[in-house]
Structure 1
C-alpha cells in the first residue's frame, strides 16, 4: 500500500510557474503546500548559473529532450524540444531572454471570455515577478519581484558595436530604436532584457529567486526526483469531479500519495500537463478508451491547440575591416575563450555573461505602412486566411475562426508585431540541419525571424496509459504541424526577404558586411528555404487553453479544469494565443495571476 501524506495544496511540477506559485501561496502560513518535481536541484551548478553556458544544458540530465514527429511541411524533419527537468524547469536551461508580451496579445486572451485577464490586470501581476536594473545598477521601472533582470547591460566589445549597428539600421528603415520592451507596445528594436542578476552575474530563475525566498517556510515542502503518475479523481460529488491528491514515484522507485484537502494544481508544462490529465482520465474519450484509460471527464480539447513560433534566419559574412564578432569564441579559440573568461570574471560581460543573442526587434508585416503593402496583405488574407488546412479536429473548433480574426488584426496593423527578430554577432547554421554545431571560418552576424502569431496549430497526446513511461518521448506524441497553414509560409517568407533585402543593406550594417549577391532570387526561393531550414522555437503554449470549452478550452478564467471542483492548471499550457516572442516573462505573469486568483478563491471559500 502506498504511504500517504496530507497537505492543503499539492503542486505538480517545480518549474518556472510551479515554484513561483508555491512561493506566493506559501505566504499564507495557514496553508500546507507540497511541490513535487521530477528533476533535481541544480541551483549550485556552474553550468546552470553561468549565463553563457546555457547551450550545454540541452540534452543534459536536466532536459526532458522531447522531439516532434516528422514535420510534413519541414521536409519531414524531426525537431528537438528542450524542456527543463530540474527545480526551476525551463527557466533553468533557457537562453534567459525576458521579453514581456504585448497589450494587444493579452487583451486577445480576455476577449475570448477570460474575465479579469485584461492587460492592465495581467501587467500588474507580472510586475510582481521581476526587478529591473539599469546599467548603473539602479532599479528602474515598476517591477518589484524576485527575478532579477538587467537590460541594456554594459556590453564589452564586440557586442556593443554590433548592437548599436543593428538598432541604428532599424531606425534608418523607419523603426525607431531602441524601444521599451516593457511598454506593451513595441515597433522596433531593443537590447534584450535578460534574467541575469547584476549583483551575482548569474542566472536568476524560479529556483534561486522564488524558491530561494520561500524554502525556509515550515509550511512549504519541496520533493525532487518525484514523478507524478496520476491525479486521483473522485466522482462522488454532484457539483463536479474532485482531485483528492496525486500518486507519485520517488527516485528510489517507491510509490507514494500526497492527499490534497483544498487544491491540486498542475504546473507540469505544455507537454506533461495535458498528458497527466489524459492518463488520469480527463481528455478525448476516444483516445482514452484506445489507450485503456477509464474516462472520468470527456474533453476532446485536452492536448490540442499546441502553438509555437517557427523561425529561420540568414547569416552574413563581416567585412575584413569591420570589428570582429564572437565567432572565434564559439570556435573555442584559446585566446578568445581566455578573453571571455576575463570579461566575465571582471565585469560580468562577454559571451559567458549573456546569451549572446544581444538584440531583438518586433516588426509589422513588411511594407504594411505603404499602400502597396496594405494591398498585398489584404490579398493574402483574402486568398489564404480561411484556407482549409485539413479535417483534423484541431482545426474544427470555433477557436479557429477567432484565432484567424486575431491574426488578421495583427497583420493589418502598422505597429503590431507579426515577427520577432533576434540578432547575434556570430555564425548560425541554418542550411545544414544535420550539423547545427557547425562553425564556419571568418566573422559573421546572424539575423533570424520567428513568426509571432502562427495560425498553424498542432497537438500533444499521451501514447500510453502508463503514468511514468520513460521510453522514447516519455509516452508522448508531439506534432506542432509547423507551416501547415499557408498564410504562415507567406508571412514568414516576407520577413526573411526583409532581412536579406532591407535590414542587411541598411546603414550602418551594410558597410560592415562583405558585398554579396542576393541570397534569394525571389519569394519562391524564400519559401523553399523556409521548408528546408525552419525550426520551432522553444516557446510552446496552448495545450490546456484558458477559454470557454465550446471554443476549445480546458480551463476556465480561474484556471480550473472544466468539470472539476478543485483541479487547476497554471503554466504555459493555459495560454490560448501564443505571445509575440519568448515565453519566460509571460509564464511568470501567468503564475502571479494564478496565485492571486487561487488566494481569492480560497478566501471566498473560507467566508462561505
Structure 2
C-alpha cells in the first residue's frame, strides 16, 4: 500500500480507537485506517444489555487472558478478558458509566501528566456525553455517548439500598458523575433505546459513513515499523496474508492495557531486560513499558431476600425467553438494563481524602456467568477497593504477537489494600443492617457470619475476590523527563516520532470507578491534541468533598452499627 495513503493508522477499534476514528475523520482531508483483530459486534448477546456476561466469556469476542499465579491470592490465576470485537471492551463490559472522582485526575497532573487535571478533563466528559436528564455545569446533552439510569430503579431493592447508605451515616448524592461523587444514589449506564451504547454504536458507525475512514477487521498487527526513531507503519496479517501498511503521519496504538504494551515490546520498544529475555532486538529502551499495571478487585456480599422480588425469580428458561422476546420486539423490560441501577462511593477510613470504595448494587444473588448463587431469592453488593497501591506488569514472552504476554497484577501486595478490604466487609454489614433493608434482609450468605476477625476476612478475600476487569496504567503518561513514563502529556511515545498510545494504559493511577468513561474522555481530549495541539478551555467548577475527611470516615454516626 502507498506510504501516502493514510495519515493515521489506529490499532484497535475499542473504547478509545472508535472515538479517535470518529474525531480524526471529521477533517475530510485526513485519511484514517482503523485496524481490529476481532469482527462484527452485531450479536444479540453484545447488543442486549442484560446478556453482558456472555460476550466477556466468549473467545470470539474477547481475548481470554489470564494472569500468572497471583502470589498474594493463594496463587490463583485471575481472568482478564479484553474486547476483541468492534467496540473493544465497550462491547463486552457492564456498561456502567462512572467518570471517577475529580481528585483522581488532579492526581494524574500531580504525577506529571500536565493539564490532565479535572478542570481540563471535564469539558471532554461533557463533549462525549448525551445525558438523559438536565444538563448543567457538569453534564451535557448532544454528544455521541448515551447515558441514563436504565429502568429507573423500578425494583424497590435499589432505593432501599440508597436509603440504607444514608441511614448508615453517608451522604446521598443526586449525581455521582456531577459535583459530588461521595455518597449513595442512582447508577448510570451507557444504554440507548434499550441497546448497549458501545463506542462502536456511538462513534464508529456514524464515522463509517465517511469516505476518509477505512475499517479493517480480522487483522492481527504483528509489529510497528520503525525507521531509526520514527514509526512509519505497521506489519499485519490479514485475510490476504502478510502486509506492510505505511503511513505519512502517525501510528496510534489503542490496543488496550494488555495489547498496547505488548505491541511496543514485540516492536523492540520497552525494558531492555524484558526484550533480551524474549530474544527481541532492542530498538528503543523505555523501561516503563508494561510496568505500573493496576486493576480493581471486588467481591460479592450476598444476602437472601425475604420477599420474592429479586431477579433470581427470572432465571428460568421460560422467563429468560420472555425477557429476550420482549427485548427483540420492543427493546424494553429486563433485557434493556445491566441491572446495576444504584450504587455508593465511600471512604474506607478517616484520613482518606476522597472515596476509595465503590458499591454496585444488584437485586439478585448471581455469578458473573449468569447462574444463580443459591436457590431462592437474594441480592448482592459488588464491593471493592478502588485506589490500590499494588502494582504489576505486562511482559512479552517472544517476538510472536500471537503468544499471550505474561501478566502479573500483584493483587493485595500492599498492606493498605488488605486493610481496605477488611473495611469493605465491616462497612457493608453496617449498611445492610439499617432499617431500610429490614423488609428484605435475610441471612448473610457470603462472606457468612463466621467471617469476623481480620484473619478470617483476609482468608475469605483471598479466596473470593475477583477482578472487576479494569486493568490500566501499563504505558503510563508522565512528564517528559520521567524515566518511567512511556508517553508524554500529549500522548506521544517518548523518544519515537510518529507514534502515540491512546487508551487506558496511559492512566498514571486508576480512578475511583469503572474505566470506560475516563477512557472515552481521554480519547476525546487526545483527538484534539493530535489534530491541533490545542484543547477545550478548562472548566471552573466546584467539587464537593467532606471537609472533615482527615478525622471522620463518614458524615454522621450510623443508626445501627453491627457489633
Normalising to structure 1: TM-score of the pair?
0.83
Work out the CA distance in 1 between the residues paired with 2:333 and 2:260: 37
Work out the CA distance in 1 between the residues paired with 2:495 and 2:4: 26
Counterpart of 1:212?
205
The answer as to whether partners of 1:16 and 1:88 remain within 8 angstroms in 2 is yes
Indicate yes or no: 2:174 matched with 1:179: yes
Work out the CA distance in 2 between the residues paired with 1:341 and 1:31: 42
Match of 1:422 among 324, 338, 360: 360
Indicate yes or no: 2:147 matched with 1:149: yes
Indicate yes or no: 2:485 matched with 1:565: no
The 3-state SS of whatever aligns with 1:277 is helix
Unaligned runs of 5+ in 1: 236-240, 369-410, 604-608
The 3-state SS of whatever aligns with 1:65 is strand
Work out the CA distance in 2 between the residues paired with 1:529 and 1:169: 25
Counterpart of 2:410?
481
The 3-state SS of whatever aligns with 1:94 is coil
What is the CA-CA distance between 1:59 and the residue it aligns to? 2.8
Work out the CA distance in 2 between the residues paired with 1:461 and 1:310: 21
Cα distance change, pair 412–602 in 1 and its aligned pair in 2 (3 A): closer
Work out the CA distance in 2 between the residues paired with 1:40 and 1:78: 28
Work out the CA distance in 1 between the residues paired with 2:359 and 2:161: 11
Over residues 485-528 of structure 1, what are the superposed CA-to-partner deviations in whole Å (9 max), with x where a residue is unaligned?
Answer: 1110011111222112x011012113321256834232322111
Counterpart of 1:126?
125
What is the CA-CA distance between 1:155 and the residue it aligns to? 4.1
What is the CA-CA distance between 1:114 and the residue it aligns to? 1.8
Counterpart of 1:64?
63
Within-5 A mapping of 1:397-408: none
Cα distance change, pair 118–602 in 1 and its aligned pair in 2 (3 A): closer
Cα distance change, pair 36–592 in 1 and its aligned pair in 2 (3 A): same
What is the CA-CA distance between 1:118 and the residue it aligns to? 1.8
Over residues 274-304 of structure 1, what are the superposed CA-to-partner deviations in whole Å (9 max), with x where a residue is unaligned?
Answer: 0100010101112212222111111111000
Counterpart of 2:376?
442
Over residues 179-221 of structure 1, what are the superposed CA-to-partner deviations in whole Å (9 max), with x where a residue is unaligned?
Answer: 31221531111222111103xx111111121011111111111
The answer as to whether partners of 2:277 and 2:397 remain within 8 angstroms in 1 is no
Over residues 340-383 of structure 1, what are the superposed CA-to-partner deviations in whole Å (9 max), with x where a residue is unaligned?
Answer: 347646875543111122221110124x3xxxxxxxxxxxxxxx
Indicate yes or no: 2:352 matched with 1:412: yes
Unaligned runs of 5+ in 2: 536-563
Counterpart of 2:385?
451
Counterpart of 1:202?
195
Q: Which moved more, 1:14-23 or 1:346-355?
A: 346-355
Work out the CA distance in 2 between the residues paired with 1:300 and 1:16: 26
Indicate yes or no: 2:474 matched with 1:546: no
Work out the CA distance in 2 between the residues paired with 1:515 and 1:16: 40
What is the CA-CA distance between 1:175 and the residue it aligns to? 1.7
Work out the CA distance in 2 between the residues paired with 1:204 and 1:153: 15
Match of 1:526 among 436, 452, 457: 457
The answer as to whether partners of 1:5 and 1:258 remain within 8 angstroms in 2 is no
Indicate yes or no: 2:465 matched with 1:465: no
Match of 2:436 among 498, 503, 508: 508
Match of 1:593 among 525, 528, 531: 525
Counterpart of 1:386?
none
Cα distance change, pair 75–429 in 1 and its aligned pair in 2 (3 A): farther
Indicate yes or no: 2:325 matched with 1:356: no
Counterpart of 1:244?
232
Work out the CA distance in 1 between the residues paired with 2:12 and 2:304: 44
The 3-state SS of whatever aligns with 2:16 is helix
Counterpart of 1:494?
423
Q: Which moved more, 1:506-515 or 1:587-596?
A: 506-515
The answer as to whether partners of 1:326 and 1:351 remain within 8 angstroms in 2 is no
The 3-state SS of whatever aligns with 1:274 is helix
What is the CA-CA distance between 1:601 and the residue it aligns to? 3.6
Q: Which moved more, 1:52-61 or 1:590-599?
A: 52-61
Cα distance change, pair 514–601 in 1 and its aligned pair in 2 (3 A): closer
Over residues 387-442 of structure 1, what are the superposed CA-to-partner deviations in whole Å (9 max), with x where a residue is unaligned?
Answer: xxxxxxxxxxxxxxxxxxxxxxxx533xx111111111111359xxxx98453101
Q: Which moved more, 1:72-81 or 1:349-358?
A: 349-358
What is the CA-CA distance between 1:263 and the residue it aligns to? 0.9
Counterpart of 1:537?
468
Q: Tell me the matched-pair count.
A: 528
Normalising to structure 2: TM-score of the pair?
0.89
Match of 2:506 among 552, 559, 574: 574
Counterpart of 1:329?
314
The answer as to whether partners of 1:74 and 1:533 remain within 8 angstroms in 2 is no
Counterpart of 1:222?
215
What is the CA-CA distance between 1:153 and the residue it aligns to? 3.9
Within-5 A mapping of 1:379-390: none
Work out the CA distance in 1 between the residues paired with 2:4 and 2:85: 23
Counterpart of 1:79?
78
Counterpart of 2:541?
none
Work out the CA distance in 2 between the residues paired with 1:440 and 1:231: 50
Work out the CA distance in 1 between the residues paired with 2:426 and 2:373: 24
Work out the CA distance in 1 between the residues paired with 2:376 and 2:330: 27
What is the CA-CA distance between 1:244 and the residue it aligns to? 0.6
Over residues 144-193 of structure 1, what are the superposed CA-to-partner deviations in whole Å (9 max), with x where a residue is unaligned?
Answer: 3111121264344xxx2011100011111122324312215311112221
Work out the CA distance in 2 between the residues paired with 1:4 and 1:131: 38
Counterpart of 1:381?
none
Work out the CA distance in 1 between the residues paired with 2:179 and 2:466: 27
The 3-state SS of whatever aligns with 1:210 is helix
Work out the CA distance in 2 between the residues paired with 1:449 and 1:560: 36
Over residues 527-553 of structure 1, what are the superposed CA-to-partner deviations in whole Å (9 max), with x where a residue is unaligned?
Answer: 111111112111110000001353621
Cα distance change, pair 81–437 in 1 and its aligned pair in 2 (3 A): farther
